[in-house]
Amino acid sequence: MKTLLSPELLYTRHRLSYPQIDSLLGTNHKELYQKDIIENFKIIREFIVVTDEFRKMGIRFIPLKGPLLSLRIYGDATFRRYHDLDILIDSKDIPRAYKYLISSGYCPDVELPEDEMGRQNLFNYTKHISFIHPTTRVNIELHWQILDLKDFLGPDFNFIYQDITVNQVFMSREFRVLKNEYDLFYLLFHGSTHKWQRLKWLLDINDYMKNIGFDSLKINSLAQKYKVSKIIPLYNSVAAIYIPKSALFDSKLKIPTILVRICIKHIAAKEVVFTKIDISYSLQGYVFGLLLFSDLGNRIAFLKTRFILFSDSKDIRTTNPLLLFLYRPFGYLIRHLRRGLKPS
């Protein structure tokens, strides 16, 4: 391992479970295993309650990561830690799911627009709504898009649900989960776009490759098809630094060393950064994205996520991406002025 990462840092900053830490470092924290199990059972209970209700409402859904990923990799839904529950549903079902979670006490981070224009902007310029329960502190993310740039895995939810998922039995219930190759591709894309800031994401893929059968040629084929082939050697380079005897993909593709350096910097940072916090991080994010996605179409999609904000559309009431782009600097100033005018 490149850095002397303590068990405490791996647990708090990188969100590894104690069994994962012991496997990685050769330590022994068995007396603390129960802590993870109890916390995970709280989340699993809510996962079952919410998804049972979705079934009753006729809302089809696909769980991403969470307890089912832990079950698939380790045969134990409580082995891996998960902070939130990511659930993919059809965008047309978002209003009903939103209303149900609100009625159950969850607080959303985004208010669901009542008008068609507002909802179109929401679905175009964001990919999920995050809900947190003030009492249980369980966090649920309702996704209508799997990946950050565009939905590579299929043209619509029906295709994803019917063609690239399989059944997974859990708690005497059947769930639809992504097929192994698509699941791995999703994990690779997710970790890469977030600069592998949590080592748990590296370990997910490492242990997935070691414990579950998959077609490596299919992974490479998916990466080539969607012109994101650099995510594979990027994983290889970073995993080789931080995970002893890491499982790697067969790839001879060369990538700019700056991509790896940026990942190392973010892994070493005190906190995970999902949005820019200063000019340095912002510029680094642009460099990283433009180098990682060398295809013009993907670069445009990446820049679109940076230059167009859903919050701006609530001010100027348009779906035109050019107008939203031009409004961006004004929206930035207005939001800061509004925060400054709020009473303390």
The answer to whether residue 94 is domain-embedded is yes
Number of separate domains in the chain:
1
Residue 126 lies in a domain: yes
Report if residue 89 sits inside a domain: yes
- Cβ contact 305:149 at 8 Å: yes
d(CA 142, CA 131): 8
Q: Tens digit of pLDDT for each residue in 50-75?
A: 999 999 999 999 999 999 999 999 99
What whole-number distance in Å separates Cα of residue 30 and Cα of residue 207? 20
For 266-270, the CB contacts below 8 A with 24+ separation are 266/195, 266/196, 266/197, 267/195, 267/196, 267/197, 267/199, 267/238, 267/242, 268/3, 269/197, 270/13
Q: Cβ neighbours of residue 293 under 8 Å, at least 6 residues apart? A: 149, 227, 228, 230, 299, 301, 302
What is the pLDDT averaged over residues 278-286?
78
Whether residue 52 lies inside any domain: the answer is yes
Residue type, 106: Y
Q: Is 210 among the domain residues?
A: no
- Give the separation between CA 78 and CA 34, rounded to whole angstroms: 10
β-strand pairing of 61-64 with 173-178: unpaired
Count of Cβ atoms closer than 10 Å to residue 92 Cβ: 11
Output b/e per residue, 325-339; b: 16+ Cβ within 10 A.
eebeeebeeeeeeee
Taking alpha carbons only, the member of 266, 116, 284, 130 closest to residue 191 is 266
343 band by pLDDT with thresholds 50, 70 and 90: very low
| Average pLDDT, integer, range 317-340 | 72
> For residue 338, what pLDDT is reported?
63
pLDDT band at 344 (very low <50, low <70, confident <90, very high): very low
Instruction: Give, rounded to a whole angstrom, the gap between the first and last alpha carbons of the chain.
Output: 46
Tell me how far apart the alpha carbons of residues 218 and 222 are, in angstroms, rounded to a whole number: 6
Domain that holds residue 22: 1-178
The residue ranking higher by pLDDT, 278 or 247, is 247
Residue 18 lies in a domain: yes
Residue at 292 is within a domain: no
Whether 301 shows a pLDDT value over 50: the answer reads yes
Band of the pLDDT at 151, cuts 50, 70, 90? Answer: low
CA distances from 259 to 176, 250, 256 (A): 34, 19, 6
Quick check: 44 and 67 in contact, CB under 8 A? Answer: yes
pLDDT tens track for 17-42: 999 999 999 999 999 999 889 999 99
Does the residue 334 lie in any domain?
A: no
Q: Which CATH number fits the domain that encloses residue 110?
A: 3.30.460
Average pLDDT over residues 309-317: 76
User: What would the two tokens of residue 176 be?
Assistant: 């639809």
For residue 339, is pLDDT > 80?
A: no
Q: Given a cut of 60, is residue 341 above it in pLDDT?
A: no
Asked whether the predicted pLDDT for residue 147 surpasses 70, the reply is: yes
Whats the size of the chain, residue-wise? 344
Across the range 201-207, mean pLDDT stands at 97
**Tokens 């043209």 label which residue?**
155
